[in-house]
Structure 1
Amino acid sequence: MASFYDFTAKRLDGTEQAMADYRGQVVLVVNTASECGFTPQYQGLQELYQHFADRGLVVLGFPCNQFGGQEPGDEQQIATFCQTRFAVTFPMFAKVDVNGSQAHPLFQFLTQAKPGILNTESIKWNFTKFLINRQGEVVGRYAPTTKPSDLLAEIEALLG
């Protein structure tokens, strides 16, 4: 079976990023959108990142336009939005599909490793979160309604 570390993804600036570069860190992967009711979670994600980055947490944002067309912008527009509205400093990636035949391979892996309610693999909406431990294992999947601050205890435990 594949590992989280086997994947790469394109950053907003067009460079390829290997997930292997995050080996040994706790990783929170989130599919994001700029025009969603959950968009204010960017603030909470940034707060988590700032609070725990020096202990080994990294948040990875993956914009997605599959849910109600809520991420219509291009990479430059997404970058500008994230920086000006929420001062995002965690790594942001190019827009991806998270469901269907064109789903990014990383999200195919994440949804298979940690199915959702009723064992369904598909992601239901923006701001679904996946938590990966320092060994690269997907240990949690959280609904869009789960606030970043609700993950404090799990992240703290994984950081040790």
Structure 2
Amino acid sequence: MSEFYKLAPTDGKGETFPFKDLEGKVVLIVNVASKCGFTPQYKELEELNQKYKDQGLVILGFPCNQFLGQEPGSQDEIQSFCQLNYGVTFPVLKKIDVNGDNTDPVFKYLKSQKSGLLGLSRVKWNFEKFLVDKTGKVVERYGSTTKPLSIGSKIESLLK
């Protein structure tokens, strides 16, 4: 079994979200923030969710406040913001750290599998994206400037 499926972060309600339940699915993991210039990407993420969720795509948002404090809200405020402003229906999990001493195990794993720009492992900014195939392998890492809809064809190929 892939190490990916051994991960079990906490969801937005404080309950365990076992990645073993994602086996056989394509997963897109994004570190998100409500007050960032890239926040409108929630709209495209939800479009991808609506288009591919019935084919086996799972999008997971992980709020993070490490980049200029752009996710200051409580868990409830984050959930409300996502639903009211962007109609988000995919899971937005517990706010976490993606870099530093308190890096969440999910992002420790993702970064260990795919380095970023110039071979650096640290997450550079909000809305960095990790694409995981049906076997739990991290196949792509996309920077913040990559628009979610631009990776639709890659998602389609992994869903086949």
TM-score by length of 1: 0.98
> For residue 46 of structure 2, what is the aligned residue in structure 1?
46
> For residue 18 of structure 1, what is the aligned residue in structure 2?
18
Q: Distance in 1 between matches of 2:116 and 2:86?
A: 28
Secondary structure (helix, strand or coil) at the match of 2:141 reads strand
1:124 offset after TM fit, Å? Answer: 0.3
Secondary structure (helix, strand or coil) at the match of 1:90 reads coil
Alignment RMSD (CA, Å):
1.1
1:100 maps to a residue whose letter is G
User: Retained in 2: the 8 A contact 1:2–1:109?
Assistant: no
1:45 maps to a residue whose letter is L
1:74 maps to a residue whose letter is S
1:118 offset after TM fit, Å? Answer: 1.5
Secondary structure (helix, strand or coil) at the match of 2:17 reads strand
> For residue 89 of structure 1, what is the aligned residue in structure 2?
89
Q: Distance in 1 between matches of 2:4 and 2:114?
A: 12
Runs of 4+ in structure 1 deviating by more than 4 angstroms, as ranges, are: none
Q: Distance in 1 between matches of 2:2 and 2:32?
A: 24
2:140 maps to a residue whose letter is G
Deviation digits for residues 100-154 of structure 1 (CA, Å, limit 9, x no counterpart): 1100011000001000112110000000000000000000000000000110110
2:98 maps to a residue whose letter is V
> For residue 60 of structure 1, what is the aligned residue in structure 2?
60
> How many residues are matched?
160
Secondary structure (helix, strand or coil) at the match of 1:9 reads coil
Q: Distance in 2 between matches of 1:112 and 1:120?
A: 10
> For residue 125 of structure 1, what is the aligned residue in structure 2?
125
Q: Distance in 2 between matches of 1:143 and 1:54?
A: 26
Unaligned runs of 5+ in 1: none
Unaligned runs of 5+ in 2: none
Deviation digits for residues 24-75 of structure 1 (CA, Å, limit 9, x no counterpart): 0000000000000000000000000000001000100000000010000010
TM-score by length of 2: 0.98
> For residue 115 of structure 2, what is the aligned residue in structure 1?
115
Identity level (%): 50
1:117 maps to a residue whose letter is L
Is residue 97 of structure 2 the alignment partner of residue 106 of structure 1?
Answer: no
